Amino acid sequence: MKQSLAILGSTGSIGTQTLDVVAEQRDLYDVYALTANEQVDLLAQQARMFLPEVVVIANERKYKALSEALADLPIKVWAGAEAIAQVAEAGPVDTVVAAMVGYAGLAPVIAAIKKGKAIALANKETLVVAGELISALADEYKAKILPVDSEHSAIFQCLAGNWGQKVEKIWLTASGGPFRTYSREALAKVTKEEALRHPNWNMGAKITIDSASMMNKGFEMIEAKWLFRISPERIQVLVHPQSVIHSMVEFIDGAIIAQLGAPDMRMPISYALSFPTRIKNNAAKLDFAQYATLTFEQPDMEKFHNLSLAYEAVNRGGNMPCILNAANEVAVDAFLHDRAGFLQMSEVIEHTMQRTSFVSTPRHGDYTATDAEARRIAWEKIDLLNK
């Protein structure tokens, strides 16, 4: 039996690489649905190659162009956020690949979980924003959440065969991004073009900026808390510039198990889709001859203040991680549009965390209200910075 997939965010970095994996394994996977935000041309090309039952464009203004592009094919064309949630919970779907970027990925993941779908999770904001809610729903509806992020996939692989063993610590590795050795004075002058040049990974713009600011690692720490049910003080971020060791697990006897591989997302994607088995793929293979030395260092929490803000948010709990995420999305957007400097992103986030209403035990509706309030406060701060 083929596994039927709904790939949410199919035109992004994770989505396109997921389709690479599917193309190599046509006998194992069938694409039921593809969704994108607004890249009509690429979505139409993907639809012609994989012939899904449904395609969805989130931007409703792009519906006509997509519908016309696929008029000669028997493919349903839908538009809007609600349509994305509908395909995520559709009956034929076995696994939802959650590769949308940002807060928008939350609602379809919730819809899929409530139908008991397996979730191959690449949208880290889902667990950052509403980790407690998502974890409770996954338990209630017995929905599997399989990590796609390379770091969380690494932890998951290190734990395979060790379920039930007591974990002392998780070592969450980080490349350090392109500005690892910069002073704060140099960081203040960083341009978006420099920030978008990651030394090891080829990713979308938003996640690349998050990596450069180390907010991405803060999000991954919060995500790891919920995925592996471990307290934040036992999750240690470790800078590893070569990006060969993707993460490690330390057990109570002092043994540390690491997962290594080339920096190629097709491997963790493949593992999430095929778990508990492994399948052959064309991902890059690690050549140890290229790595005479592997190095490690502690992250500079003062220079990369976003990482310390993430620990503050998760320790406060409630809706604070949701505030953190909303403020970060605004700050990154402002940076990419030359409305905020690199270090000012942290300033915007901290300001928003201090001023947005705190809810200690949020419900689903509270997350929606929090996201809206935090975005408004963050944009107000951006406006002040530009006066």
For the segment 14-67, what is each residue's pLDDT rounded down to a tens digit?
A: 999 999 999 999 999 999 999 999 999 999 999 999 999 999 999 999 999 999
Asked if residue 220 lies in contact with residue 226, where contact means CB atoms within 8 angstroms, the answer is no
In the chain, the number of structural domains is 3
Domain membership flag for residue 302: no
**Contact (Cβ atoms closer than 8 angstroms) between residue 121 and residue 21:** no
Backbone angles phi, psi at 35, to 5 degrees: -135, 150
In this prediction, residue 199 carries a pLDDT of 66
pTM of the model: 0.92
Query: Residue 28 contacts by C-beta under 8 Å, 6 or more apart in sequence?
Result: 2, 3, 273, 274, 279
308 domain residue, yes or no: no
147: tokens are: 């990590």
> How does pLDDT run across 211-241, given as a tens digit for each residue?
999 999 999 999 999 999 999 999 999 999 9
Cα distance between residue 322 and residue 127, in whole Å? 9
Query: What is the model's pLDDT at position 347?
Result: 97
User: Six-digit token pair at 40?
Assistant: 């009509």
User: Is 112 in the same domain as 59?
Assistant: yes
Q: How far apart are CA 241 and CA 200, in angstroms?
A: 9
| Residue 261: per-residue pLDDT | 93
Question: Among residues 297, 325, 345, which one ends one of the domains?
Answer: 297
Domain co-membership, 163 together with 262 = yes
Assess whether 27 and 72 both reside in one domain.
yes
Q: Is residue 201 part of a domain?
A: yes
Judge whether 312 lies within some domain.
no
- Do 46 and 142 reside in the same domain of the chain? yes
pLDDT digit string (tens) for 257-286?
999 999 899 999 999 999 999 998 888 899
Does residue 30 form part of some domain? yes
22 and 105 co-located in one domain? yes
Q: Are residues 136 and 257 in the same domain?
A: no
Is 359 in the same domain as 338?
yes
118 SS3 class: strand
Read off the pLDDT of residues 158-210 as tens digits, 9 standing for 90 and up: 999 898 899 999 999 999 888 999 999 999 999 999 998 876 666 678 888 99
Per-residue model confidence (pLDDT) at position 1: 84
Assess whether 109 and 19 both reside in one domain: yes
What is the Cα–Cα distance from 363 to 82, expressed in whole angstroms?
20
Residues 236 and 367 in one domain: no
Q: Which of 297, 328, 356 is the last residue of a domain?
A: 297
Which structural domain range is residue 139 located in?
3-147
In a domain, 272, yes or no: yes
| Average of per-residue pLDDT across 80-98 | 97
For residues 238 and 204, the answer to whether their CB atoms sit within 8 Å is no
Chosen domain end from 246, 262, 297: 297
